[in-house]
Structure 1
Amino acid sequence: MASLNKVFLMGNLTRDPELRYTSTGLAVASFGIAINRAWTAKTGEQKEDVCYVDVSIFGRRAEIVGEYFNKGNPIFIEGRLQFNQWETKDGQKRSTLRVVADNFQFIGATSKR
């Protein structure tokens, strides 16, 4: 059976991107985005929900995100979900779900650092 792992997200950065380089020189930018969703409840009351997502992006795209994006800037992300599991030194199991971005788009104006 075929499978598909593709995500499209649009939201605002929750923190400045953290740009670093691997030992092989590959750029990696990590940041969070907040995606807001508004709806009307059956009672007519306006409701809002926020989903926070951690994102990583690699290569030249990571350098561009690190240079041109700041906390609060809107961004459109295209990527895939990645699930990581590990065990801490004291034996506790941990896991995280994040988006690995393949591409992004500027939405509106961004401020240059």
Structure 2
Amino acid sequence: MRGLNKVTLIGNLGNDPEFQKLEGNTSVAKFSLATTESYKDKYGQTHTTTDWHTVVLWRSLADLAYKYLQKGSLVYAEGRLKTRSYDDKEGSKRYVTEVVADQIIMLDKKAVDNE
């Protein structure tokens, strides 16, 4: 049996994308994405919770993000979870889980109107 690693998010960028050109002129962009859920408790009070996700884009998607996305942009992102590890300054192993997106759709009305 094969596994499935698929993530679908709709949320707002918490910051402008960080953009880099790596060796071989490969583009990479990274940004934080906030997803917010609301629910009502038994007393009718509305509560919201926000989760933050790090989204990584490669090549042409990174170029697209750099050109069109900014803090506050509403996007649909689809991809897979990737966990990597690194050693911090004290020598402790740290783990980071990111969403490596292979599709993004800009959902802002202004972005759609400009196309």
Into which bin does the TM-score normalised by the smaller protein fall? over 0.9
Paired positions, count = 112
Matches within 5 A, 1:1-113: 1-108=1-108, 109-110=110-111
Give the distance between the partners of 1:97 and 1:103, measured in 2 at CA: 18
Q: Structure 2: 5+ residue runs without aligned partners?
A: none
Counterpart secondary structure, 1:60: helix
Which AA in structure 2 matches 1:32?
A: S
TM-score (norm 1): 0.92
Moved over 6 A (4+): none
Counterpart secondary structure, 2:15: coil
Counterpart secondary structure, 1:24: helix
Shift of 1:10: 0.3
TM-score (norm 2): 0.91
Shift of 1:23: 1.1
Shift of 1:89: 4.2
Counterpart secondary structure, 2:65: helix
Percent same amino acid among aligned pairs?
32
